[in-house]
Amino acid sequence: MFLEIASASVRFGGLWAVKDVSFDVDKGSITAVIGPNGAGKTTLFNVISGFLPPTEGQVRLKGRVISGRPTEDSARIGIARTFQTPEICRDMTVLDNVLVGAHLHIRGGLVAQLLSLPRSAGSERVARSAAREALERTNLWAARDMPAAALPLGKVRLLEIARALMTRPRIVLLDESASGLNSQERMELASLIRQMRQQEITVLLIEHNVQFVMDLADRVVVLNNGKLLSIGAPAEVRANPTVITAYLGRQQA
Amino acid sequence: MSSTQRALLIAFVWLVLPVAFNQSATLNLLVFSDINLIQAIGLSLLFGYAGQISLGQAGFYAIGAYVSSALALRTGLPPIAGMFVGTIVAGAVGYVIGRPVLRLRGYYLAMVTAAFGLIVHAIIVEWEDVTGGYSGLTGIPPINLGVVTIDSPLRMFYFAGTIAIIVFLLALRMVRTPYARAMQTMRESEAAARSVGVNISKLKAEVFALAAGLSGLAGALYAHYIGYISPDSFTIDTSINLLLALVIGGVGSIWGAGIGAVLLSFLPEWLHVLKSAYGIAFGAIVIVLLTIEPGGLVAILVSIQERLLPKAALDAPGKN
């Protein structure tokens, strides 16, 4: 099994934000996590991406427990993410925002970098060509020298994805990456996510737009009040009466 | 003109200044500018680039000064070696206290670093056997380089100036490295930095140690230049004035640190006529300037330059 969420629970004070959630994710698949606001989707993502330790339960990658580790180890393990409220460096250029994604692939410490030692300078060149590729894939290359603050929300979400790709991830967690995008941008995002699947990158995404999810995801996980309500192929989940009552009903009415 | 070329040009102009200003009073202030520049760059990297405030730089300044001086006076260690030891000790103390302290942010970090400065001050007052207490240390020997002893303001201007220019050029280079990119990312979003694998607590402690070491180096230079140190030179005012000078010059710019360091050295003299109203005038300048341009004097210079020479905007000094 590739990625396993095993009885994961997170408690904030007296509230279980995530309660006893278990499911598996196949390598190179696209899994959508949906559910009403406050269902625990982002909390679950924080656990998988190492931003929160689970109160109970585990997350395992290829059988190895990866939950409860320091947050900064995630990228090394191969887990990259974006944020629901984008976390970018507004004063830095678009290019620099993406380049920092190569942090773990830059060789040599500060002294080696100051002296431009070959291995250090070489890894920076590799990072720059990877950044160009990531920016071209996200249609941001033309904006590379702009300060990130100048980008509209839709582009900022793509910028975060470009940065995540720079870490050379095995798993990418996209937290509402489609929200704030216009329909053109959403189509581009969908094709970008499919490309990621082709490269054997496992994608988990949180999304409110049900049509977007149904068209894209291999599997859909439905959370409600922190609990796993349903899991399955998009069509199965869509047909599930409990899901319709709890969540989808509003869209289908 | 590239940023490095500009820096070399200004460094050259700086080094010929004593020809025009060779009265001892002005020369003395130029020496202080050299010394202040070294610490201002450290604080600029820490505060402007890595986003970590420190109101305790005087503590590290004191550590550099007292370690180097006490070693010279008690053990006869040559000042040039003492300076090195003082720098390393200040940097090491910065690293050790940085690990736990830098978990705090904003006001809390400001308060804890200020408290660190107060503790160092209290230690140098109380530990009389080593520090001489309130009366301080006197007869600190000047730096001896073998062929020449740094025993005049002019010699110190060139000695400290050479170090300051090297630090300045290295800092200009540093802010373009991937390392600095991680620092800036951390300043704006720790979550973003963590998500790409930046070890935040290690990076913060390293930059804190670097700023502490540079303050220590400046402190040692100061001690061997003046030949006398007492706790009065290392109060919380010293820390706050350094931070304000940096803000006036321009946070987030190595050039801003340069402007700030010169102002920090010269303003007290220029505003001398105001006597006790000096503090009011200094505070007023800070308020007025930051209301007009939060980026400090360097941002004002950049915008003037852009208006005069629109094409030069791309390599404007503010970019570094």
Q: Cβ contact (<8 Å) for B195 and A114? A: no
> Which residues in chain A touch residue B200, judged by CB atoms under 8 angstroms apart?
72
Residues B179, A114: Cα–Cα separation, whole Å = 9
- B:82-111 residues touching chain A, CB 8 A cutoff: none
For B207, name the nearest residue in chain A, comparing CA atoms only: A110
Q: Residue B87's pLDDT is what?
A: 96
What is the least distance, in Å, from the CA of B256 to any CA of chain A? Answer: 17
pLDDT, tens digit, for every residue of A179-217?
888 888 898 899 999 999 999 999 999 998 888 888 899
> Is B315 an 8 Å CB contact of chain A?
no
Q: What is the count of structural domains for chain B?
A: 1
For A116, name the nearest residue in chain B, comparing CA atoms only: B177
pLDDT, tens digit, for every residue of B1-44?
677 788 888 888 888 887 777 777 888 889 999 999 999 999 99
Interface pTM (ipTM) of the complex?
0.91
Residues B40, B248: Cα–Cα separation, whole Å = 12
Q: Cβ contact (<8 Å) for B178 and A73? A: no
Residues B182, B165: Cα–Cα separation, whole Å = 25
Q: Residue A117's pLDDT is what?
A: 87
CB-CB neighbours of B236 under 10 Å? 16
pLDDT category at A62 given cuts 50, 70, 90 is very high
Tell whether B262 is covered by a domain: yes
Q: Cβ contact (<8 Å) for A75 and B196? A: yes
Q: Which of B181, B195, B198 lies closest to A81 in CB terms?
A: B195
For A145, name the nearest residue in chain B, comparing CA atoms only: B314
Tell whether B279 is covered by a domain: yes
Strands A202-206 and A30-34: parallel
Q: Alpha helix locations (H) across B71-199? A: 79-101, 106-126, 128-131, 153-174, 178-188, 190-195
Query: What's the average model confidence in pLDDT over A26-35?
Result: 93
pLDDT category at A249 given cuts 50, 70, 90 is low
Q: Residue A246's pLDDT is what?
A: 74
> Which residues in chain A touch residue B46, judged by CB atoms under 8 angstroms apart?
none
Tell whether B19 is covered by a domain: no
Tell whether B286 is covered by a domain: yes
pLDDT, tens digit, for every residue of A135-188?
999 999 999 999 999 999 989 999 999 999 999 999 999 999 998 888 888 988
Domain extent for B33: 3-13+24-319
Does residue B79 contact residue B197 with C-beta atoms inside 8 Å? no
pLDDT category at A252 given cuts 50, 70, 90 is very low
The segments of chain B whose pLDDT lies below 70 read: 1, 310-320
Mean predicted lDDT score pLDDT of chain A: 91
Q: Residue A248's pLDDT is what?
A: 57
Q: Residue B129's pLDDT is what?
A: 87
The amino acid occupying position B201 is S
Q: Which of A71, A99, A113 lies closest to B194 in CB terms?
A: A71
Q: Determine the residue among B177, B184, B188, B196 to mutate to test chain A binding: the one whose Cβ has the most chain A Cβ atoms within 10 Å.
A: B196
Residues A213, B209: Cα–Cα separation, whole Å = 48
pLDDT category at A26 given cuts 50, 70, 90 is very high
Task: Report the range of poorest mean pLDDT among A6-15, A232-241, B304-313.
Answer: B304-313
Tell whether B18 is covered by a domain: no
Interface of chain A against chain B, CB under 8 Å? Answer: 49, 51, 70-76, 80-81, 83, 87-92, 96-97, 99-104, 106, 109-110, 113-114, 124, 127, 163-164, 166-167
Q: Residue A75's pLDDT is what?
A: 93
Q: Cβ contact (<8 Å) for A92 and B184? A: yes
Q: Residue B311's pLDDT is what?
A: 56
Domain CATH for B106: 1.10.3470
What is the least distance, in Å, from the CA of B137 to any CA of chain A? Answer: 36
> Which residues in chain A touch residue B174, judged by CB atoms under 8 angstroms apart?
110, 113-114
